[in-house]
Structure 1
Amino acid sequence: MRKNEKMSHQSNPPKTLGVAMIGYAFMGKAHSNAWRNVASYFDVPAFEQKVLVGRDAEQVAEAAAKYGWSESATDWRSVIARDDIDIVDICAPGFMHAEIAIAALEAGKHVLVEKPLANTLAEAEAMAAAAKTARIKGIQSMVGFNYRRVPALALAKDLISEGRLGQVRHVRAAYLQDWLADDQSPMTWRLDKDTAGSGALGDIASHAIDQVLFLLGDQVTDVSGRMHTFTTHRPGSKGLEEVTVDDAAWATLSLASGAIASIEVSRVATGQKNSLQLEIYGEKGTILFDLENLNELGFLDATVPVREQGFRRILVNEPEHPYIGAWWPQGHIIGWEHTFTHEIRDFLHAISLGTAPSPSFEDGLAVQRILTAIEESAAAKSALIQLANPPRTPEGA
């Protein structure tokens, strides 16, 4: 993770892994870029971009040719049954995650699925159970919370784990976008609860919540939440159609360590394009992060004399920083798309080494429980929802 380390080569190299990806829109493009580039910068097991799957034969064929896939298909079931497919990368809408992932795991395929893990808690539980069974047979699975692979946030995780902040007291996380600020923006599958599960909650609050759990290594014990839809109908193919998900959500999370986290997300925050801001306040220091300056980390060391205190800017682009050694000379920054390349790199290494990758489906289930609790709290007019979290699956189990 620190540098472009080399993996040991066996005398009998393993077979080339065949990869199939399901979905070719926004996330499919991001994942394809990662698959196409990862071997150019990291030493990873041999693999081949075999097949891209989508519903429209003409469009998926065009996307496959553009994104570096050898072929295209429209039937995901026949693809996961193929002997030359070892990895299934799921970038389809949320309502398809559970069916495809469980079928792929049962077929003996390693599975990467985009966040959030599923549309419902029941689906997420079924996926985690399937992943646990498959893991016993050496079949790995991972959920795609790509922001864990932002080098600055990986560094923040290290600093917190090393005790540089001391006891973390509270966290503020705000993920704000404005792509739905215009009430004439058209209806899409992301605005229909049947296909998306939820709105800003599952789409971007899942990222913010995962970061809280990832950075602190903690668990949520209770939740209070609120959700709101500002534009209830949008133009669609059948005239005005009802929006059945939230535009924005707010939550307060109590953590097992005693810390408190506040979450605020919106897809109607005019002027905010893709702003994930994190503030982590501890007894010995503070960390600040803004996704729109993703190569930078703000750090305050409260253990030095007060007259010397102040936030300093850490530019995360040195070879000693997480992932950076594989890229450009020091001082040269990287971008949002690199997080997916890092994600694919880590997933391939886990498969090669036979270790459970992180975040696991169990981690995705933990986030799903919190999302569900926020919905329940919002429906009950801000009632406090207690969470009974089972013990986490040990790494490598």
Structure 2
Amino acid sequence: MIGHGFMGAAHSQGWRVAPRFFDLPLAPEMTVLVGRDPAAAAAAAQRWGWAESASDWRAVLERDDIDIVDIVTPGDTHAEIALAALAAGKHVLCEKPLANSVAEAEEMALAAEAAADRGIRSMVGFTYRRVPAATFARDLVAAGRLGEIRQVRAAYRQDWLSDAEAPLTWRLQKDRAGSGSLGDIGAHAIDLAEFITGLSLETVSGVLDTVVRERPLLGEGVGLSGTASSERGVVTVDDIALFAGRFSGGDGYRALGSFEATRFATGRKNGFTIEVSGALGALAFNLERQNELEFYDATDPAGEQGFRTILVTDPVHPYAGSWWPTGHMLGYEHGFSHQVVDFVAAVAEGTAPRPSFADGLHVQRVLDAVERSAGDGSSWTAVG
């Protein structure tokens, strides 16, 4: 694993726990964690269960005992590391968004396609696909329970930047992060909306805004929760992203979607909601109540209609059968174990895992189209 921040902890949990609850066709060995600071990497490796640590990822890619490379670094390094890993014959799991630009994502997708011809697998870490309730929502749509999809409403709301004096981290710098709320959490809304509905965004119309344009710089060795310096730096990404989108669909009908991504929704800590409306029914998912799915069946008798809450913890539900008895809840970290399960299975079976680098490229193109639409005031901008 290259990188060891917040996502490093989450991915480590996935690698460590998945083999203990699921019957995997291959046994993952947590061999080496890589970080720029040798002392910090060593401490993270010991804490999270990695056998050793290193500071030179290029040297690690040359090792014969490494089969999979898991990339959890900031977005500006994804392309370089992933391309080198694929060229070295390593299977690659890369955190989202895939890259910082469409050009980088295109190069990565082409490299992944060429590597697949050699049996090398790659996947993007859109982990919310693997929350059991979200996967179950996809299954209901695929089974035709909602009929023709007509409208999607997706919103990802956080408030961790609502304090104007919070320091300027790498996530607020476009050269490091690629974009702000749009790419950081809006990418999740795009991917999960498409995953659940089976539809693909083809045109968008959006607006972006930066609420706080300057923030205190981080002092030497100071983390996000530490004390910032008296100097200030410019925020170069968006704080709020709002956009409408049209999905491709059959018979000439194109479902309409509305999307919101903000890190200024005061009081919302990780509020990710998706509602899908169809001709025969509807469903609603809320990440803050992630073990539940609301389902409305419009074919019920008139006197019995209404949203009902399904507790998605039964053994028949996706992934749930390998964990606890029905009604014993799963949490945020379980999606990362499910990600490991699916990726390891694809590697063992020689199949193409999803979401692929091509899927990640598509999301990158949607992000780019939203930025272009917001930048020039276009009413509708084509994806790609």
TM-score range, shorter chain: over 0.9
Match of 2:125 in 1: 144
C-alpha displacement of 1:31? 0.2
Give me the whole-angstrom Cα distance separating, in 1, the residues matched to 2:128 and 2:333: 10
Question: Is the 2:149–2:279 contact (alpha carbons within 8 Å) kept by the matching residues of 1?
Answer: yes
**375-384 or 33-42: bigger deviation:** 375-384
Q: Which of 291, 295, 302 is the aligned partner of 1:299? A: 295
Amino acid at match of 1:245: V
Aligned pairs, how many? 368
Classify the secondary structure of the residue corresponding to 1:22: coil
Q: Is 1:282 paired with 2:274?
A: no
Give me the whole-angstrom Cα distance separating, in 2, the residues matched to 1:328 and 1:255: 37
Match of 1:345 in 2: 341
C-alpha displacement of 1:183? 0.2
Q: Which of 23, 26, 29 is the aligned partner of 1:48? A: 29
Structure 1 unaligned residues grouped into runs of 5+: 1-20, 389-397
C-alpha displacement of 1:212? 1.4
Q: Is 1:32 paired with 2:12?
A: yes
Q: Is 1:312 paired with 2:308?
A: yes
Q: Which of 323, 327, 333 is the aligned partner of 1:331? A: 327
- 1:248-267 equivalent positions in 2, closer than 5 A: 248-257=240-249, 258-267=254-263
Match of 1:13 in 2: none
Q: Is 1:80 paired with 2:72?
A: no
Classify the secondary structure of the residue corresponding to 1:180: coil
Give me the whole-angstrom Cα distance separating, in 2, the residues matched to 1:310 and 1:387: 36
Give me the whole-angstrom Cα distance separating, in 2, the residues matched to 1:146 and 1:102: 22
Question: Is the 1:148–1:211 contact (alpha carbons within 8 Å) kept by the matching residues of 2?
Answer: yes
Question: Is the 1:105–1:130 contact (alpha carbons within 8 Å) kept by the matching residues of 2?
Answer: yes
Match of 1:206 in 2: 187
Q: Which of 27, 47, 56 is the aligned partner of 1:66? A: 47
Match of 1:12 in 2: none
Give me the whole-angstrom Cα distance separating, in 1, the residues matched to 2:19 and 2:54: 24
- 1:157-236 equivalent positions in 2, closer than 5 A: 157-236=138-217
Question: Is the 1:206–1:367 contact (alpha carbons within 8 Å) kept by the matching residues of 2?
Answer: yes
C-alpha displacement of 1:307? 1.4
Match of 2:236 in 1: 244
Runs of 4+ in 1 over 2 A off after TM superposition: none
Amino acid at match of 1:168: I
How does the TM-score come out when normalised to structure 1? 0.92
Amino acid at match of 1:213: E
Match of 2:82 in 1: 101
Match of 2:224 in 1: none
Match of 1:91 in 2: 72
Q: Which of 334, 351, 357 is the aligned partner of 2:353? A: 357
Give me the whole-angstrom Cα distance separating, in 1, the residues matched to 2:311 and 2:41: 40
C-alpha displacement of 1:199? 0.4
Give CA-to-partner distance per residue, 1:288-316, whole Å, 9 cap, x none.
11000000000000011221100100000
Classify the secondary structure of the residue corresponding to 2:30: strand
Give me the whole-angstrom Cα distance separating, in 1, the residues matched to 2:154 and 2:167: 28
Question: Is the 2:38–2:55 contact (alpha carbons within 8 Å) kept by the matching residues of 1?
Answer: yes
Amino acid at match of 2:74: P
Structure 2 unaligned residues grouped into runs of 5+: 219-228
Amino acid at match of 1:166: G
Give me the whole-angstrom Cα distance separating, in 2, the residues matched to 1:275 and 1:100: 31
Question: Is the 1:224–1:374 contact (alpha carbons within 8 Å) kept by the matching residues of 2?
Answer: yes
Question: Is the 1:226–1:382 contact (alpha carbons within 8 Å) kept by the matching residues of 2?
Answer: no
C-alpha displacement of 1:101? 0.2
